[in-house]
Amino acid sequence: MSKDLKRSYVVEAVYLGTKGTRLDMQRAPNRAAPGSQLNAEERRRIGNAVGFTFDSSEANSIYHALQLRVTRRFSRGVSFTNSYMFGKSIDNASTLGGAGGSVAQDDNNLRAERGLSSFNAAHTLNSTFVLASPIRDRSRSLWANIARGWLLTGAVTARSGTPLTARVLGNRSDSSGTGVIGAGRADSTGQPVNSGSGFFNLAAFTLPPSGRLGNAGRNTITAPALFALNGSFGRGFRLGDARRRIEFRVEGTNLTNRVTISSLGTVVNASNYGLALGAAPMRVVQGQIRLRF
């Protein structure tokens, strides 16, 4: 739904819903069930065969979103587009090839793979704008020649963090033997995940007991939010005829120099558990001079 308002404004409201069925999922069916006194090799479904990855069309997804957009067409040197989206995506396999890029933890309980999509972001705000110099003086005065024609453009992106999964190193359930191990999730302690002074509550997860799979849900940790402001400022000057021009431009990314964490340590028995493992690039500003002829 869209509506034109006065002064070149357009307001739009859009609902988007999608349903995916028979999506690709990676499983490891030839694994031993945990809890037996026999070793993992003797408990395999197919004896004398190593663990292998099996692709099946058993995954599904559902996505709902509401988008609001306000646009001002270019008028009197100003234009902008502001777009806000509130949405939620749930699935049991977020990528081609498995549940969030890995083999399902328990081949006998695929329902346990259902959770937030690995790309889910509850809130997304995108804003772009163009501001032209308000000077309209067409005289040949020095001031008019310097002041008119400048253009400022920018883009703002703000987004909620995407979800991550608490995992464990090694094969705590002793279910794999040789071959494919699959994803090993941590145990949930019942404490709230989004509390404490760190990126998430480290005490919300722990190692599962030996001989049992972890019971923590998939994608229950929310990564830090993203914010970025990019922009450029410049103009061109004509040199003699219309074909020759010299252009000046200054461009910058992450102008606020905000630290955006791109990855976290979510393996509970690793030394970097709960620590930041990567960050998006910091502020970069560069200038350009271009001669066209």
Q: What is the pLDDT of residues 233-270, one digit of tens each?
A: 999 887 877 778 888 999 999 999 999 999 999 999 99
In whole angstroms, how far apart are CA 22 and each of 96, 102, 112, 219, 253? 12, 17, 17, 21, 40
Integer-rounded Cα radius of gyration of the chain: 27
Q: What are phi and psi of 32, to 5 degrees?
A: -75, 145
Average pLDDT over residues 80-103: 81
Average pLDDT over residues 152-157: 96
Cβ atoms of 288 and 248 within 8 Å: the answer is yes
pLDDT digits (tens, 9 = 90+) for 36-69: 656 666 677 777 777 788 888 889 999 999 999 9
193 is written with which tokens? 């995940």
133 is written with which tokens? 């110099």
- The pTM (predicted TM-score) of the whole model is 0.81
Cβ atoms of 165 and 105 within 8 Å: the answer is no
Identify the three-state secondary structure at position 207: coil
Beta bridge partners of 153: 130, 232
Cβ atoms of 95 and 61 within 8 Å: the answer is no
What DSSP state is assigned to residue 145?
A: H
Residue 100 pLDDT: 47
Identify the three-state secondary structure at position 147: helix
Identify the three-state secondary structure at position 99: coil
pLDDT digits (tens, 9 = 90+) for 168-223: 987 776 666 655 556 689 999 999 998 878 899 999 999 998 888 899 999 999 99
Is residue 196 within a helix (H) or strand (E), and if so which, with residue range? none
68 is written with which tokens? 């609001």
Residue 24 pLDDT: 87
Q: Comparing C-alpha atoms, which of 125, 135, 206 is closest to residue 172?
A: 206
- Weakest-pLDDT range from 30-34, 269-273, 281-285: 30-34
2 is written with which tokens? 């869209």
283 is written with which tokens? 């502020």
Cβ atoms of 253 and 281 within 8 Å: the answer is yes
Beta strands in 46-190 (DSSP E): 54-75, 78-91, 115-116, 123-132, 151-159, 163-164, 187-188
258 is written with which tokens? 């905000």
